Amino acid sequence: MTAVINLPPSLDDRTFEQVLEQLAPVPAEEKVLVDARHTRWASPYGLTALLTLAQTRAEKPGLIAPDAAETASYWARAGFFEHAEPLFEITGHVPRARGGESDVLLEITPVGKSDDVHEVVGRIQSKSHAILVKELNLDAKATMGFAMTLSEACQNIVEHAGRGGWVAVQTYTWKKRLGRRVVVIAVCDAGIGFRRSLESAHGRRLDERWGDGRALEEAVLRGVSRFADPGRGQGLAGVRRYIGRWQGKLSIRSGTARIAIVPDWDEDLPLEEKLPNFPGAQIQITIPEHREAR
């Protein structure tokens, strides 16, 4: 038997929850078919999380490509199909990737080891400066901080996930929620997640409130790490400082919980628990265009 998972017309960090709700009752060994025919738009989070979804299935899932030529073409340019091909049995029209996409700052890129982070950071620096400074009106200093943020977010996979994941960076105009341009980093993996990572710390005492939500609070708000080394846990703290400086937003989903550092312009919940379970960690960082200085 094959369970059909319908992708929403707009696939982002919020609507991906609809995908996980459909997936929740389906046993891991059961075949799934992901139907993207009616999807018209996908964020970097949507695309990278979709790749991790395939990693969680015992049997290779099916994927029907988007009907809209423009959407399929964008997914190809973002590098989605290149990485999806070994993970999904893809049907429907898959266009060839062509260059020239100016709003894709970093195509979907696998991250599994330290060298991958060097590659990602090197590529982003050559492309991001002009876009961050000229289009998003950020200070020139923001460019280096952006690369540092990207580095630390990717290292979450290298240091904690236990398996490879993906990163993607894109700019777009966020008409509905914000009405201005944003740059978005998505870093998704299907590894062990924050709770299991912290549980692996030797001698860690777990109380009755312990769970995915508490693990996210510990790691993101208090800089706790599974390592005894007091120097650990500074990466996510650095990410928080960076998004605070540029009125950005950080959200991390892991297991059954999702935590968000919410700026004034957004109305997201700081912590959600009892969500459908999904392995690993899915991070999204959003930096908005600055208007005050214009």
Partner 1 sequence: MINHIDLTGVLRRTVCDLYSDLVTRPTGAAVRDGIEKQLAELGERSLTVIDFSHVRLLDYSCADEIVAKLLIRYAPADDETEPPRDAYFVFRGVNEYHLDAIETVLERHGLAIVAERDAGEVDLIGAVGEAERRAWDALCRVGKLGAAGLARELGITPDAAERVLERLRRRRLAMRLEECWVAVGAAQ
Contacts with partner 1, residue ranges (CB under 8 A): 114-115, 117-118, 121-122, 125, 141, 144-145, 147-148, 151-152, 155, 158-159, 230-231, 234-235, 237-238, 241
Judged by beta carbon, residue 141 or residue 222, the one nearer partner 1 is 141
Judged by beta carbon, residue 5 or residue 147, the one nearer partner 1 is 147
Q: Closest approach of Cβ 109 to partner 1, in Å?
A: 15
Judged by beta carbon, residue 53 or residue 124, the one nearer partner 1 is 124
Judged by beta carbon, residue 21 or residue 115, the one nearer partner 1 is 115
Judged by beta carbon, residue 37 or residue 241, the one nearer partner 1 is 241
Instruction: Single out the residue of 22, 21, 5, 56 nearest to residue 281, CA to CA.
Output: 56
Q: Closest approach of Cβ 277 to partner 1, in Å?
A: 29
Judged by beta carbon, residue 248 or residue 279, the one nearer partner 1 is 248
Paired tokens of 79: 């590098």
Judged by beta carbon, residue 40 or residue 241, the one nearer partner 1 is 241
The total of other beta-carbon atoms located within 10 Å of residue 60's CB is 13
Q: Closest approach of Cβ 159 to partner 1, in Å?
A: 7
Judged by beta carbon, residue 25 or residue 231, the one nearer partner 1 is 231
Q: Closest approach of Cβ 278 to partner 1, in Å?
A: 26
Q: How far apart are CA 231 and CA 200, in angstroms?
A: 18
The total of other beta-carbon atoms located within 10 Å of residue 183's CB is 26
Q: Closest approach of Cβ 241 to partner 1, in Å?
A: 8
Q: Closest approach of Cβ 192 to partner 1, in Å?
A: 18
Q: Closest approach of Cβ 137 to partner 1, in Å?
A: 19
Q: How far apart are CA 170 and CA 214, in angstroms?
A: 30
SS3 per-residue string spanning the chain: CEEEEECCCEECCCCHHHHHHHHCCCCCCCEEEEECCCCCEECHHHHHHHHHHHHCCCCCCEEECCCCHHHHHHHHHCCHHHHHCCCCEEECCCCCCCCCCCCEEEEEEEECCHHHHHHHHHHHHHHHHHHHHHHCCCCCHHHHHHHHHHHHHHHHHHHHHCCCEEEEEEEEEECCCCCEEEEEEEEEECCCHHHHHHHCCCCCCCCCCCCHHHHHHHHHHHCCCCCCCCCCCHHHHHHHHHHHHCCCEEEEEEECEEEEECCCCCCCCCEECCCCCEEEEEEEEEEECCCCCC
Q: Closest approach of Cβ 83 to partner 1, in Å?
A: 22
